[in-house]
């Protein structure tokens, strides 16, 4: 009994500390609960606190108080379980759509099953109401376990995030927004590249943080919280209310400005606005926030006895040069995993020894006795003057992996390891193979080295060979005929973007190149990599103001301030960053074919139907011109599944 009382006191004190500021800066004046929102808020409270991820809600996507059925799902541990769940969801949705069609034909039908559905709509529902509801039957997976885990994780960061928002003079209740975005999941990554607990996209993240191949501050809860505070503050200044500013976090500030101009208030937007992109997610975002806020501020009511993670005591040090994580961890007597857990903005290449921790990096370490002295005594020879370069090779027709390896002074095993090649080391024209540096090769050899005894050496060699093989064979999917490479294998771990400069020429003593634009690239990216203005590139290519560039478009670029090789390296790292992050969070579990229909284009297909990034579709259809799809044409679509370890 005493232990139970102690737990309750701790929960009460934590909740008081985290929400005390809200009484003066997170009032209902800031976050009004409009009567029309109440059914939606109640719905999301059930999603977050009643139904687990092994339960699904079949409901109307406009009137969220209309819940047709709660279905039980199998745990998502195997592909067969996922398939059975999908079949169950489709079958249940189809069942209720059929009942609604019956009611649309005859609202007074005596069919017992149809009458149960009709009762959910009330006595005033008409045939037109039932007809409209046919296409609005929606599935929502429960999130109780995810939300609960998010509450536990949030304890480690909420006090610091609260201080950040207080510094920006923002309502403290905004600190609960990551419960909607990510459930405070530090590994959260969307299929379209939104990363971290605040789910910043690459482009939005670069406006407020450092986002590159070595350091991506979107993954760091503290850096990202500073960025989120600035973005929310900017949204509020533009739109004038927190319901609008919060919805803009999901829908975009410019789009919400148009919605406000059309309808005036948030309440009118919620009730009446029918913008082209203002769909279920945007319409419900503010309601989700209000539901999450209610639960997070009343934890003991919804999740009694919950214990939060405690904040970590850390100290920040500024590094005086580039340094390998291996050297640093050895000197400060910490495991690399500890350094990683406290410095989440450092990307995977740093921990694979492909990149150094950057010069001037603000390194967070445990605030324990002697740490300051250890950091101050880092020997000068551990610091490097320059960052490691990324070396790669564009595969030509007829290239063989062993020859490529020998040409670059590395072993075939090095090449296999660096690119996750299969045991036959097959490579294909158009791939950009990463070429490990000699230092990488030594690290790899050291990792699998053993004492001199012959039996142990043999064991090490076997482990080395095992490492060289792909970790997950299903990742290598043989595409069908539409890709133009029947029988070949697609290796999703290798960048296939066209990052080479196609043609190089000199004009008026200035070096220029011609490139082909690839997926995700913008004029802003090129300007940043070339150290010139975007307008200069526009002028070179006679592009009108605000004219957008498109995939496969030829573009003239200047090489007055950067070398061609360095530019290609930056392009390689840009695409490698996207692909590595995606394949850390998701796995490829097969392919299927899609037949192009009239009106289809690759952008809307990827966004609305496949829910996959264009670069991934392009990787499986290298010989297809995705800009010019024609009805009847077939393209290969990878089957993507979220990895279990990234769901929590």
pLDDT in tens, 604-630: 999 989 999 999 999 999 989 999 999
Instruction: Output the average pLDDT for the chain.
Output: 89
Q: Tell me, what's the pLDDT at 530?
A: 97
- For 72, 395, 420, 479, 587, the CA distances from 476, given in Å and listed in that order, are 33, 18, 10, 9, 10
Per-residue pLDDT for 147 more than 90? Answer: yes
Q: Tell me, what's the pLDDT at 479?
A: 38
Q: How many residues does the chain have?
A: 648
In this prediction, residues 161-177 reach a mean pLDDT of 98
Q: How far apart are CA 477 and CA 638, in angstroms?
A: 8
Q: How far apart are CA 280 and CA 63, in angstroms?
A: 11
Q: How far apart are CA 302 and CA 153, in angstroms?
A: 16
Cα 487 to its chain centre, rounded Å, is 31
Contact 289, 246 (CB under 8 A): yes
Q: How far apart are CA 499 and CA 516, in angstroms?
A: 8
Which phi and psi angles does 449 have, rounded to 5°? -75, 155
Reference 479, options 586, 636, 639, 616; nearest CA is 636
Q: Tell me, what's the pLDDT at 26?
A: 55
Reference 137, options 85, 61, 66, 55; nearest CA is 61
pLDDT in tens, 224-262: 999 999 999 999 999 999 999 999 999 999 999 999 999
Sign of the dihedral defined by the CA atoms of residues 180, 186, 187, 192, in that order: positive
Question: Across the chain, which distance is largest between two alpha carbons, in Å?
Answer: 86
In this prediction, residues 23-28 reach a mean pLDDT of 53
**15 — pLDDT class (breaks 50, 70, 90):** very low
What tokens appear for 131 in the block?
A: 């007809």
Contact 227, 217 (CB under 8 A): yes
Q: How far apart are CA 429 and CA 458, in angstroms?
A: 35
Q: Tell me, what's the pLDDT at 18?
A: 45
**4 — pLDDT class (breaks 50, 70, 90):** very low
pLDDT in tens, 315-356: 999 999 999 999 999 999 999 999 999 999 999 999 999 999
Contact 78, 85 (CB under 8 A): no
**180 — pLDDT class (breaks 50, 70, 90):** very high
pLDDT in tens, 281-294: 999 999 999 999 99
What tokens appear for 361 in the block?
A: 């990096």
Q: Tell me, what's the pLDDT at 457?
A: 44
CA angle 155, 158, 161 (to 5 degrees): 155
Q: How far apart are CA 288 and CA 32, in angstroms?
A: 13
| Look-up of token digits 């560039």 | 549
Catalytic site positions:
181
Reference 475, options 494, 452, 456, 460; nearest CA is 494
Architecture of domain 7-36+144-302: Orthogonal Bundle (1.10)
Contact 205, 229 (CB under 8 A): no
pLDDT in tens, 181-204: 999 999 999 999 999 999 999 999
Q: Tell me, what's the pLDDT at 67?
A: 98
Per-residue pLDDT for 308 more than 90? Answer: yes
**454 — pLDDT class (breaks 50, 70, 90):** very low
**93 — pLDDT class (breaks 50, 70, 90):** very high
In this prediction, residues 586-613 reach a mean pLDDT of 93
pLDDT in tens, 47-66: 999 999 999 999 999 999 99
Q: How far apart are CA 425 and CA 182, in angstroms?
A: 38
Do the bridges between strand 554-558 and strand 510-516 make them parallel or antiparallel, or are there none, so unpaired? antiparallel
Cα 326 to its chain centre, rounded Å, is 27
Q: Tell me, what's the pLDDT at 82?
A: 86
8-state DSSP, 189: B
Per-residue pLDDT for 575 more than 60? Answer: yes
Contact 490, 477 (CB under 8 A): yes
Q: Tell me, what's the pLDDT at 442?
A: 53
| Look-up of token digits 């004009």 | 507
In this prediction, residues 361-377 reach a mean pLDDT of 96
Q: Tell me, what's the pLDDT at 480?
A: 36
**444 — pLDDT class (breaks 50, 70, 90):** low
Q: Tell me, what's the pLDDT at 88?
A: 97
What tokens appear for 217 in the block?
A: 């501050």
Reference 600, options 622, 553, 633; nearest CA is 633
Question: Considering only 307-321, 375-389, 457-471, 520-534, which range has the smallest mean pLDDT?
Answer: 457-471
In this prediction, residues 528-538 reach a mean pLDDT of 96
Which residues are within 8 A (CB) of 341 and not within 5 positions of it... i.e. 6 or more apart? Answer: none
Q: Tell me, what's the pLDDT at 29?
A: 86
Q: How far apart are CA 183 and CA 288, in angstroms?
A: 12
Per-residue pLDDT for 536 more than 60? Answer: yes
- Partnered with residue 67 across adjacent β-strands are 59
What pTM did the predictor assign?
0.86
Per-residue pLDDT for 2 more than 60? Answer: no
Q: How far apart are CA 20 and CA 9, in angstroms?
A: 16
| Look-up of token digits 């203005």 | 533
Q: Tell me, what's the pLDDT at 7?
A: 46
**What are the extents of the domains in the chain?**
7-36+144-302, 54-141, 314-382, 392-471
Question: Counting Cβ atoms within 10 Å, is residue 76 exposed (0-12), middle (13-18) or buried (19+)?
Answer: middle
Which residues are within 8 A (CB) of 159 and not within 5 positions of it... i.e. 6 or more apart? Answer: 17, 18, 311
């Amino acid at each position: 009994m005493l232990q139970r009382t102690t737990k309750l006191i701790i929960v009460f004190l934590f909740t008081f500390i985290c929400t005390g500021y809200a009484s003066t800066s997170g009032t209902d004046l800031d976050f009004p609960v409009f009567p029309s929102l109440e059914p939606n808020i109640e719905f999301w409270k059930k999603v977050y606190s009643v139904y687990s991820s092994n339960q699904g809600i079949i409901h109307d996507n406009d009137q969220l108080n209309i819940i047709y059925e709660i279905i039980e799902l199998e745990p998502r541990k195997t592909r067969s379980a996922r398939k059975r769940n999908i079949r169950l969801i489709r079958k249940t949705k189809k069942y209720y759509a059929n009942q609604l069609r019956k009611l649309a034909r005859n609202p007074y039908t005596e069919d017992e099953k149809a009458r149960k559905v009709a009762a959910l709509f009330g006595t005033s529902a008409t045939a037109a109401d039932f007809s409209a509801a046919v296409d609005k039957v929606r599935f929502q997976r429960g999130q109780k376990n995810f939300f609960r885990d998010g509450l536990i994780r949030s304890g480690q960061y909420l006090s610091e995030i609260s201080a950040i928002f207080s510094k920006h003079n923002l309502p403290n209740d905004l600190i609960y927004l990551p419960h909607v975005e990510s459930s405070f999941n530090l590994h959260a990554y969307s299929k379209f590249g939104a990363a971290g607990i605040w789910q910043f996209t690459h482009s939005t993240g670069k406006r407020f943080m450092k986002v590159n191949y070595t350091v991506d501050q979107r993954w760091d809860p503290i850096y990202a919280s500073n960025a989120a505070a600035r973005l929310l503050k900017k949204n509020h200044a533009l739109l004038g209310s927190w319901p609008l500013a919060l919805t803009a976090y999901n829908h975009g500030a410019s789009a919400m400005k148009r919605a406000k101009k059309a309808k005036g208030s948030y309440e009118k937007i919620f009730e009446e606005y029918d913008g082209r992109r203002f769909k279920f997610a945007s319409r419900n975002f503010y309601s989700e926030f209000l539901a999450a806020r209610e639960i997070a501020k009343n934890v003991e009511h919804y999740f009694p006895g919950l214990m939060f993670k405690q904040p970590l005591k850390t100290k920040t040090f500024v590094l005086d040069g580039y340094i390998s994580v291996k050297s640093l961890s050895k000197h400060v007597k910490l495991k690399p995993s500890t350094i990683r857990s406290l410095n989440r903005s450092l990307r995977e290449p740093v921990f694979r020894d492909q990149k150094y921790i950057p010069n001037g990096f603000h390194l967070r370490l445990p605030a324990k006795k002697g740490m300051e002295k250890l950091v101050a005594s880092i020997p000068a020879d551990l610091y490097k003057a320059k960052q490691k370069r990324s070396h790669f090779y564009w595969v030509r027709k007829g290239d063989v992996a062993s020859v490529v390896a020998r040409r670059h002074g590395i072993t075939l095993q090095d090449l296999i390891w660096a690119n996750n090649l299969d045991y036959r080391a097959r490579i294909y024209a158009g791939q950009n193979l990463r070429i490990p540096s000699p230092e990488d090769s030594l690290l790899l050899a050291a990792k699998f080295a053993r004492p001199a005894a012959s039996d142990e050496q043999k064991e090490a060699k076997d482990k080395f060979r095992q490492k060289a093989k792909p970790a997950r064979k299903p990742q290598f999917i043989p595409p069908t005929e539409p890709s133009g490479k029947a029988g070949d294998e697609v290796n999703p771990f290798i960048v296939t973007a066209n990052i080479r400069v196609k043609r190089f020429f000199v004009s008026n003593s200035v070096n220029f190149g011609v490139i082909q634009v690839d997926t995700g690239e913008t004029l802003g990216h090129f300007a940043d990599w070339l150290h010139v203005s975007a307008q200069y590139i526009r002028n070179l290519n006679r592009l009108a103001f605000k004219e957008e560039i498109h995939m496969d478009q030829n573009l003239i670029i200047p090489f007055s301030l950067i070398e061609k090789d360095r530019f290609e390296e930056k392009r390689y790292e840009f695409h490698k960053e996207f692909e590595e992050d995606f394949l850390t969070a998701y796995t490829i579990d097969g392919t299927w074919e899609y037949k192009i229909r009239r009106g289809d284009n690759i952008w809307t297909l990827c966004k609305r139907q496949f829910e996959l990034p264009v670069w991934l579709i392009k990787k499986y259809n290298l010989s297809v011109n995705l800009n010019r799809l024609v009805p009847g044409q077939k393209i290969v679509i990878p089957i993507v599944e979220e990895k279990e370890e990234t769901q929590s």
